[in-house]
Structure 1
Amino acid sequence: MTAASVASDHNASRDRNNKPSLSRSSIGRIMLAIRRSFSLLRRDPTWSDACAMPPMMDIGQPFNVRHVAHVTFDRHRGFLGLPEEFLKHVDGEPPSASLSVFGVRPESMQCAMDRHGNEVPTILLKLQARLYDLGGLSTEGVFRISGKMEHDQRVREQMSAGVVPVDMDVHSIAALIKSWFLELPTGLLDSVSPSRLARSPNTTESAVLLAASLPATERGLLDWAVNLMADVCAHAEENRMSERNMAVVFAPNMTQVSDPAVALQHVVRVMDWIRLLVERRVAERREKGEERVESGGEKGGERGRVRRGRSKGRVR
């Protein structure tokens, strides 16, 4: 290091040491002056006007209003009174007053009578018909094996337009039927409280009385589901789905009890309730020699081919 550089570093250090600094009292006087300046500004009326919040927008009343149409949704005939310019946006008979057929109240959906006289959303009847047409009643593990397309957004959009996609497989259709019940705003059987179901004897007579106590909409949907399960159980030798197996796969979709302390036991009781109803329906059909819905014909589902005969056995 040269003597010149040492002298330069020494001079720089001396300059830094001699640099004037603000004392605490000086900083205090500066802050006091700033506060006084703001105080004077607040007294100035132009300051308050500049800082004031803009006034809220005043929304006036509508004017030049004309009542040109009165549109209602009928559960059996769809939208009524819809202007012609809107008809092109509605594909045929809409299955629901909502944009989706999932997660909405059954009362807001288009309905039709099933072959047992129950008012059922048309989308369920279409799914049932397609399930039967594709041989679902004789498919092993139907309603037990998971589908591949029930969560597909494209499928759900077509379903909401009232169309069952042609490329749907049996297990996806069965899964969509279960999903429809699962996604209801309230559980189908939740009007019967867990405490009431727990007090009810585990007998066929009690199961029938509980079903009869449901509101009309829920009662009709339960009866439709019981008949569907009975149709499946009539082919138990082929599909390996007994009354108990059907109750096991449907029960979790029929209730939405949120309390984890009672949810598990309640689902088990709902399963027993459904099983008793299905067993009773199957027994009634056998006693009366009623016709059994056949699977895989040209007219499946609610239009299905039937034949007389009794199932040769049960699968447990």
Structure 2
Amino acid sequence: MGHPPLEFSECYLDSPEFRETLKCYELELDRTSRFLKDVIKDGNSVINAIKGYSLAVQKFSQTLGVFQFDFIGDSLTDDEMNIGKKDQIGVTKDKRKKFEKESEKYYSQLEKHLALSVKKKESLLQEADDVLDKERATFYESSVEYVYQVHQVQDRKKFDVVEPVLAFLHSILTLNNLTVEMTQDFTPYKQELQLSLQNTRNHYESTREVMEDLMKKMKNPSFICQSHTMQGYLYCHEKWALGMTWVKYYCKFHKDNRTLKMVPCEQKTTTKQLTLRSCIRRKSESIDKRFCFDVETSERYCFHVCFRRNAPVTFQALSEGNRKQWMEAMDGKEPVSGRPIRAHSVELNEVGFKFVRKCVNFVETKGLTQEGVYRTVGSNIQVQKLLNAFFDPVCPGDVDFNSDDMDIKTITSALKFYLRSLSEPLLTHGLHDNLILAAKSDNLDHRLSEIHALNYKLPEKNRDMLALLIKHLVNVCSQSEENRMIPSNMAVVFGPTLMRAKEETVAAMLDIKFQNIVVEILIDNYQKCGGGAGGVSNQCGGGGVSNQCGGAGGVSNQCGGAGGVSNQCGGGAGGVSNQCGGGAGGVSNQCGGAGGVSNQCGGGGVSNQCGGGAGGVSNQCGGAGGVSNQCGGAGGVSNQGGVVVLQCGGAGVSNQCGGGAGGVSNQCGGGGGVSNQGGGAGGVSNQCGGAGGGAVWWWWWC
């Protein structure tokens, strides 16, 4: 769960909410400090354990290395040598103990037997001989068994001991192998984490300077009053049972609805709210306190104390400057101090469109592949010189972009400066919060559809400018291998340029990364849905309709004139080029291409001219001053690009074309209006209609 941002303005106000938020950050810092200490402690434990493990492995290796099996015989087999070099074995002592015991017993009995005197009775000597024979037999038996056991040990130790050691070594190697596999599995996550860290670092670098500037502004208390909410500590003069007293409140005044919210500081009672009617400075001679002002409210009862109807409520500010700020916010009669005004702002008008088009054309002509285009900045002096000359009120737009003084950095910096200087950002203040909220969505599909829908809520001129600009940025990003400007990098540059919060706050600074996401989605989504083969670009002028489409097998339609239609289509084989113009209801169609149709009509009459390759043309025209062209049949036009059928009636133009890949289907109708409908793989479908040459077309967004 994230914490609310710490605003610099709150440092000046020192509100209770600020103290609570600051306490949350302090607790988080303490938790982070403990976490770092635990990480360091546990990390040292891991390092020490690894060191101990390393020493143990080295000792184990030395033990295995120095151990050498003794062997019976003259030489060892290869397997015996291989095993003997790797392992050690424990010696069993059971047979050895028995052998030593029987050996000692036998030789002890032998010494006693040899010590017998010959003077003993024969029966005693015979008995002693029998006992010695039994001891000798027992000794020989234990000796043979011991020797056999020695042979068994020498042979079995090579696998009885080696097998467990080998299993142990296999376990260690399995652990190491799992470590390697885990390392390989961790690699994609590590790369993703490195990319996230780089993006986070870039975001920090991009917002650090902006936040420093905001901090410097907030060091000036006069800047606080620019907010739509004035807040701070005030002392209210209240009447209690035992007399009058001054009670400390933290007050918030909302300029929009003129409500004053009062939060008591010393007693945790109910928050009070007043609706202000007027604010008047309190004369010094009328009260023994300084920095006072009276407020008239709409409420009759306040603070659990009955006041007279419309009786003023007296407040004491913290200083003379603070009183002026409160009275300025409440529209009091105290003289209003100067408020900082935006240094320079411009409107989105025809001059601005002309400037942006010239900049876009210059960049796409001369600087599309320049590394770091739009990221690198030009000379501020040259930028201001260009803007002042182009937006000169006397002669706007009179600037030669082909002069030697113009360079890519100056043009790109001037374009960004113009967009940032708009009185309202291109994506408007009204849609800012909704766009940020959409960018914060975890569902990528919802994020995309929501931003797509919000674009339709833009004013028409903003939408046209956005279409022009995003299409240009797509063209720039298409050369990212050379200019290094991928959509995410371009979004970092144009995020704060196209979007701007109404008020400069820390929260707004923290939302810059989501502004970048919005612009990145616009660029990426335009690549998927707009431009390319079969793309549509619509441009209209006057009362007519101007549609221009390009791409393989595409359609380029341009219409102009009062109620007239001017269609121009081009493309590959099977393309159609129609150009219409003239007076009201006049039609001029010109079509070309392999096996195409060329029709030209003007005025109120009918002029049809058809030409092309193989395949005849059948034209049928009718209607008062109208044109009805129908081409087809055996003598029709049939190309790999499709079949073209032109049908026109009334004062309008109705063109319908269909076919295979690259085919074009245009259908136009209405009182002087244009309706284009197309089909076929790679084709273009445009539908426009309306009386008096009006036009309705699909937005560039798809």
Normalised TM-score (structure 2): 0.24
Q: Take 2:533 and 2:511, find their aligned partners in 1: how far apart are those partners?
A: 33
Q: Take 1:158 and 1:252, find their aligned partners in 2: how far apart are those partners?
A: 25
Structure 1 equivalent of residue 496 of structure 2: 252
CA contact (8 A) 1:105 1:184 kept: yes
Q: Describe the shift of the 1:153–1:204 C-alpha distance in structure 2 as closer, same or farther (beyond 3 A).
A: closer
Larger RCO (alpha carbons 8 Å, 6+ apart):
1
CA contact (8 A) 2:387 2:414 kept: no
Q: Take 1:157 and 1:197, find their aligned partners in 2: how far apart are those partners?
A: 33
- Tell me if 1:221 matches 2:474: no
Structure 1 residue 271 displacement after superposition: 1.2
Q: Secondary structure at the match of 1:138?
A: coil
Structure 2 equivalent of residue 122 of structure 1: 354
CA contact (8 A) 2:477 2:487 kept: yes
The partner residue of 1:147 within 364, 367, 378 is 378
Between Structure 1 and Structure 2, the one with more strand by share is: 2
Q: Describe the shift of the 1:205–1:105 C-alpha distance in structure 2 as closer, same or farther (beyond 3 A).
A: same
- Tell me if 1:280 matches 2:518: no
Q: Describe the shift of the 1:154–1:263 C-alpha distance in structure 2 as closer, same or farther (beyond 3 A).
A: same
Between Structure 1 and Structure 2, the one with more helix by share is: 1
Q: Secondary structure at the match of 1:121?
A: helix
Structure 1 residue 273 displacement after superposition: 0.9
Structure 1 residue 196 displacement after superposition: 2.1
Structure 1 equivalent of residue 416 of structure 2: 178
Two-structure CA RMSD over aligned residues (Å): 2.7
Q: Take 2:470 and 2:381, find their aligned partners in 1: how far apart are those partners?
A: 22
Query: Identity percentage over the alignment?
Result: 24
Structure 1 residue 140 displacement after superposition: 0.7
Q: Take 1:195 and 1:284, find their aligned partners in 2: how far apart are those partners?
A: 25
CA contact (8 A) 1:143 1:174 kept: yes
Q: Take 1:199 and 1:156, find their aligned partners in 2: how far apart are those partners?
A: 34
Q: Secondary structure at the match of 2:511?
A: helix
CA contact (8 A) 2:429 2:500 kept: no
Higher mean Cα deviation, 236-245 or 276-285? Answer: 276-285
Q: Take 1:139 and 1:279, find their aligned partners in 2: how far apart are those partners?
A: 21
Q: Secondary structure at the match of 1:205?
A: helix
Structure 1 residue 270 displacement after superposition: 1.7
Q: Describe the shift of the 1:287–1:129 C-alpha distance in structure 2 as closer, same or farther (beyond 3 A).
A: closer
Q: Take 1:286 and 1:194, find their aligned partners in 2: how far apart are those partners?
A: 27
Work out which of the two has the higher radius of gyration on C-alpha atoms and give 1 or 2.
Answer: 2
Structure 1 residue 241 displacement after superposition: 0.5
User: How is 1:182-221 mapped onto 2 (pairs within 5 angstroms)?
Assistant: 182-200=420-438, 201=441, 203-221=447-465
- Tell me if 1:242 matches 2:486: yes
Structure 2 equivalent of residue 303 of structure 1: none
AA matched with 1:217: K
Structure 2 equivalent of residue 106 of structure 1: 348
| Structure 1 unaligned blocks of 5 or more | 1-101, 111-119, 292-305, 309-316
Structure 1 residue 142 displacement after superposition: 0.2
Q: Secondary structure at the match of 1:106?
A: coil
Give CA deviations for 1:213-248 in whole Å, capped at 9, x if unaligned.
111121111111111110101111111101111111
Q: Take 1:180 and 1:287, find their aligned partners in 2: how far apart are those partners?
A: 29
Q: Describe the shift of the 1:173–1:289 C-alpha distance in structure 2 as closer, same or farther (beyond 3 A).
A: same
CA contact (8 A) 2:436 2:518 kept: no
Q: Take 1:170 and 1:245, find their aligned partners in 2: how far apart are those partners?
A: 18
Q: Take 1:152 and 1:196, find their aligned partners in 2: how far apart are those partners?
A: 33
| Structure 2 unaligned blocks of 5 or more | 1-343, 537-549, 553-702
CA contact (8 A) 1:190 1:255 kept: yes
Structure 2 equivalent of residue 10 of structure 1: none
Q: Take 1:138 and 1:281, find their aligned partners in 2: how far apart are those partners?
A: 20
CA contact (8 A) 1:191 1:214 kept: no
User: How is 1:1-316 mapped onto 2 (pairs within 5 angstroms)?
Assistant: 103-107=345-349, 109-110=350-351, 121-134=353-366, 136-149=367-380, 151-160=382-391, 161-162=396-397, 163-165=399-401, 166=403, 167-200=405-438, 201=441, 203-257=447-501, 258-284=503-529, 288=533
Structure 1 residue 137 displacement after superposition: 0.9
CA contact (8 A) 1:194 1:266 kept: no
AA matched with 1:247: A
AA matched with 1:124: V
Give CA deviations for 1:59-109 in whole Å, capped at 9, x if unaligned.
xxxxxxxxxxxxxxxxxxxxxxxxxxxxxxxxxxxxxxxxxxx832113x3
Q: Take 1:150 and 1:131, find their aligned partners in 2: how far apart are those partners?
A: 20
Q: Take 2:380 and 2:551, find their aligned partners in 1: how far apart are those partners?
A: 32
AA matched with 2:369: S
Q: Take 1:212 and 1:156, find their aligned partners in 2: how far apart are those partners?
A: 30
Q: Describe the shift of the 1:236–1:289 C-alpha distance in structure 2 as closer, same or farther (beyond 3 A).
A: farther
Q: Describe the shift of the 1:289–1:216 C-alpha distance in structure 2 as closer, same or farther (beyond 3 A).
A: closer
CA contact (8 A) 2:374 2:493 kept: yes
Q: Describe the shift of the 1:106–1:263 C-alpha distance in structure 2 as closer, same or farther (beyond 3 A).
A: same
